[in-house]
Each structure stands twice: as structure tokens, then as C-alpha cells.
Structure 1
Amino acid sequence: MPSTFKLPVLGEQEFSRLQTLMSSASGIHLASNKRSLVAGRLMKRLRHYHLDNYRDYLHLIERPTHSRERRLVIDLLTTNETYFFREFPHFEFLGQWLGRRKGPLRLWSAACSSGEEPYSLAMTVAEHATGSDWSILASDLSQSMLTLAEQGIYDIAQARYFPDGWMQRHCLCGVGDMHGRLRVQAHLRARVSLREINLVQPLPEGLGPFDVIFLRNILIYFDTPQKQLIVQRLVNQLRPGGLLFIGHAESIHGFELPLRLVHPSVFERV
């Protein structure tokens, strides 16, 4: 008879403990309908430690000596799908706005993941800015994602949403062992500074002000009070006349903020 393997089940009690861990570490609330997703993402860690159940894994990550593993759990559970020029109308609008903007520019990708968003911003600014004095801050909670962003190397399939000619102008295509991959050119990578920032914590001193802040596809993971606190903190870093971009599936309706809607999910600080 062939042997069978029974997959471990992430029970309610273990999931509740993971919800508490995530909330205390990152402010992110894991909704109850994410239990199967969480189980799938952590399965490889059980196999790594040769564990048969999530209870034993939780005992392990709660030990003071396993802070690195706890950090890895946060990375695994906060890593989201991203790609170049996601929600492309935002970049079209930004390009038009940049063509009318004078003087130095500072932009912030506040949940940059593995770097596709800040490099999309860098290409947009390079194409449309009226001057050469500009820089981009890219921040994320996940150090592993920031490491990927620093490398600036991606699968060539990521180029499917590039505007015509932009990949040739702003990226290098791999050959040999790097065939099928692209790398953002060094002059653009140099414009992007990477920094680990937890948005639910007080922001570092001297961070702003910024002309543009992208805060996209991250607010959906927070409850309303936490969401409002995060947005308020970031708006305080925005210059009057600057732009705040949020995800098309997100809302800040009802927040009392010095913002006015100027384009779908784009707000200007007044």
C-alpha cells in the first residue's frame, strides 16, 4: 500500500495566536478568511523544521531565541503581488502632473514591496520631469523585500505593462544565465533610496516633506482607526499641492484630512 501524508491543519486557536503576533508586530489584521492563505504560506516553514503541526511551529517562533524566524513569518504574511506600472492610470496622471511641476521633486513609495513600484516611479519621473533634481524614497516593513528591491532584478514577464520603448531605455536584458530577466539601469537605481519603515510606528525624524506619496494596496490590511492614523502621518509629510495616491480598491472616505480628490484615488494636499 502506498503511504499517505495528511496535511497539517491550522486551527482556530493557532490562527488567533498568529493574528495577535501580526497585529503587535505590524499593525496588520489577518482577516478570518485568510486562514487557508496563511496556512499555505507557512507550510514550507513547518517542512523546514520537520514539524507535523502549526502548534509546534508557534511554540518555536514564540521563543526569544527565534526572533529571526518571527521576522520571516511577518515577511511571508505581508508579501503581496506587485508588478511594474500596477494601476497604470496613476502613472499616466503622474506623468501629466510632472510636466507642469517646477523645481526639485521628492517622491515616496511607502509600501514598496520588492521594488517594482518605486522603479516604475523612477521611470515615470525620468520621462516626464522638467528638471533633473529628483529622488525617491522606497520603504517597506519587510527586509527581505527591500533586499530584492536593492538588486533591481526581475523576471522579463514583468515588462508586459511597460509603455512602448521604456524597457529598452530604462532596463538591461539578461543574457546567458540571466536570460529571461531584466535589471533596472544603475542610474535609476541610484535615484531610489531604500529604508525599512513600519507605518504603524511613529515615522523617523526628518523624513519629509514630499511632493508625491504612493500609499497603495496596503490600507486594506488595517482596521479603520489604524488606517486613519497611517494616512494622517503620511499626509503630514506631504507638501501643500503634493499628491497622495492610494489603491483603487481602497478608501479614505470620512477621514478629516486636508485633501481634495483630483483623480480617481489621487488626492492633493490643500
Structure 2
Amino acid sequence: MTLSTASFEAVTAMFARVSGIRLSPAKKPLVEGRLQRMAQDAGHARLDDYVHALLEAADPKELTRVVDKLTTNETYFFREPEHFDHLRQLLRDQPPDGPLRVWSAASSSGEEAFSIAMLLAEELGRRDWSVIGTDLSTAVVQQAQRALYPMERARNLPQALLKRYCLRGEGDYAGQLLIQRALRERVSFRCANLMQEMPRDLGQFDIIFLRNVLIYFDPPGKARIVRRVLAHLKPDGLLYTGHAESLANLELPVRSVAPAVYTHGG
């Protein structure tokens, strides 16, 4: 199945309105691949017919499914390990004297949030800490809440942490891992769109991970997202961004304290 240029532009315009992410024409094969099964399930032999029906009906549930499908969620445990090394050393040098709250602001299916939780459990033990993960996609938030992953996602996970915090699947669950209950109880997930105002009850955080999401936005979009996220960062808190994501020339009230690590200032 292929999309006409008009249908591609129509569906990606809808996606941009909802998510703020603009997909270039180079992403046309990706969009076609993601929508094929949905078109077949809806009884359409042509992608153009499916897109026309989708936009004509404007069914919120089906539109949400499309947004979920088009949201890229490539992640694994302890991705970009330099950040975890930095956070580990920080906690050793300056352990918190009160509750520590961490926000994984583009948590996808939860691997980043649980990686943070493993590190906090190692360094802070039973002290008062928690991790919140948010993502635009309802599908990946539900996956994160299940905390069940293919074993291949643990390729960067140290064996000691794998044994301590994960259960290896057997039988029907062979080749999968489940995060142990004690760790799951410290981590929560919810839907949130970074292009919109955050939920009022989200609160303030000591540390925010905002990694590998800004690359999908133009400079004004990046600036709006970072400002929105900074409103939830405590005065002496830290913001981690992806190493391929620069905040330079965005006129943001931040200062760099390490590679891809920022705090209030500027």
C-alpha cells in the first residue's frame, strides 16, 4: 500500500497538530508501513481511503491509535550511559537530605524510568525517592505500566542489576524480563503531551530527563518545550537532554554544568 502526496500531507498535518512533531517527506515509507495494518483492520484496501475515512470521521479513539503508531519509541535500558554515570557520582558526592523526585519526561515504554530507578535504588536504598514517567503515546504508557520487556532491551544493563531488579521469563514469557515489584512500586507512568501544559498535579522535580525528543521539533518548538519543563524543575535541579540535542541559540534561562546537563541560569 502506498500513500498519495495529498494523503501523506493530510495525515502528517493531523499528527503535527496533536503531537507537535512534523514528519518530513523522507518519512513517507515509515508512515505507510505504520498505517498498513490499521487500514487492513478497518477494511480498506487502499491507504488513501483509510486516511480519508480517518480524517472525515475524526474518531478520537482511532486518531489516538494513529498518533501512537506514528510516535517513534526506540529505547533500551541505560541508553546514553554517561548521564547515569554523572547522576551516580552526583548522588555519592551530594546525597539528598530529603525526598528525591525524578521525572522521565519522554519515557516511551519505560526503560529510561526504570534505569533511573535502579540507579536510585543502588545509591539511595530505602530512602524517600520516586520516579515519574510521562509520554504522549497511550500505548507505550500502558506498556511501561506492565514493566514487561524483551530481553534484548537489556543489552546495556549490567548483569548485577539484571539479577537484582529483574525476573527472567519462563515458558510463555521466555526471552522477556519483568521489573521486580519493589522497584515498580517506586515508579509511576501517565500520559502527557509536552506541546501542551503539564498536569497541574505533576509537581516539582529535583532531576528531569528530557532526552531524545527535542530532535523532532524546530527551534521554536524546542524552546517552548524546555521552558514548559523547566517550570517543574526545582531551583537547584538538573535537566538532562540527549547528547545529540543542543540548547544553544534557543535563548533559554539555563546554564550547562556538564555535557547535555543543565540547571537554571543563563
Q: Does 1:81 align with 2:66?
A: no
Tell me the distance in 1 between the aligned counterparts of 2:170 and 2:125. Answer: 34
Q: Which amino acid in 2 is paired with 1:108? A: W
Post-superposition, which runs of at least 4 consecutive aligned residues in structure 1 deviate over 3 A?
A: none
* Correspondence for 1:149: 144
**Amino acid paired to 1:85:** F
Q: Distance in 2 between matches of 1:241 and 1:65?
A: 44
1:193-220 CA deviation, whole Å, 9 max, x = no partner? 1111111111121322101111111111
Equivalenced residues, count: 263
- Equivalent pair of 1:135/1:191 in contact (CA under 8 Å): yes
Q: Of 180, 191, 199, which aligns to 1:196?
A: 191
Distance in 2, matches of 1:231 and 1:149, equals 24
Aligned pairs (5 A) from 1:251-266: 251-266=246-261
1:70 & 1:36 partners in 2: Cα distance? Answer: 19
Structure 2 match to 1:3: none
Paired amino acid for 2:193: N
1:109 correspondence with 2:104: yes
* CA distance in 2: counterparts of 1:87 and 1:167, whole angstroms: 18
* Letter matched to residue 229 of structure 2: L
Instruction: Give the RMSD, CA atoms, in angstroms.
Output: 1.5
* Aligned mate of 1:128, from 123, 137, 142: 123
Q: What letter corresponds to residue 32 of structure 2 in structure 1?
A: A
Q: CA deviation at 1:130?
A: 6.9
Structure 1 unmatched ranges of 5 or more: 1-7
Q: What is the CA–CA distance in structure 2 between the aligned matches of 1:66 and 1:60, rounded to whole Å?
A: 10
Amino acid at match of 1:242: G
Q: TM-score, normalised by structure 2?
A: 0.94
Match for residue 72 of structure 1?
A: 65
Instruction: Indicate whether 1:22 and 2:4 are aligned.
Output: no
| Residue 39 of structure 2: aligned partner | 46
Q: CA deviation at 1:85?
A: 0.6
The alignment partner of 1:62 has SS state of helix
Q: Mean alpha-carbon deviation: is it higher for 178-187 or for 64-73?
A: 64-73
Question: Equivalent residue for 1:170?
Answer: 165
1:45 and 1:203 map into 2 onto residues whose CA distance is: 30
Cα distance in 1 between the residues matched to 2:3 and 2:171: 43
The equivalent residue for 2:88 is 95
Give the one of 246, 265, 269 matched to 2:264: 269
Partner Cα distance (2:71, 2:154) in 1: 24
Aligned residue among 243, 247, 262 for 2:242: 247
Distance apart, 1:190 and its partner CA: 0.8
TM superposition shift of 1:30 = 1.0
Paired residue secondary structure (2:206): strand
Q: What CA distance in whole angstroms lies between the structure 2 residues aligned with 1:209 and 1:245?
A: 15
Give the Å deviation of 1:13: 0.7
153, 164, 172: which one aligns with 1:158 = 153
For residue 49 of structure 1, report the CA deviation from its aligned partner. 2.5
SS in 2 for 1:108: strand
TM-score in terms of structure 1 length: 0.93
Deviation digits for residues 54-99 of structure 1 (CA, Å, limit 9, x no counterpart): 2211122124463211111100101321111111111111111122
Gaps of 5+ in 2: none
Q: Does 1:234 align with 2:219?
A: no
Q: Distance in 2 between matches of 1:250 and 1:53?
A: 38
- Matches of 1:192 and 1:87 in 2, distance apart? 20
**In structure 2, distance between residues paired with 1:131 and 1:96:** 18
Which of 24, 27, 47 pairs up with 1:31?
24
Q: Which residue of 1 aligns with 2:176?
A: 181
Query: What is the deviation of 1:169?
Result: 0.6
Tell me if the contact between 1:98 and 1:130 (Cα under 8 Å) persists in the aligned partners.
no
Please point out which of 56, 59, 62 is paired with 2:55: 62
Kept in 2, the 8 Å contact 1:123–1:188? The answer is yes
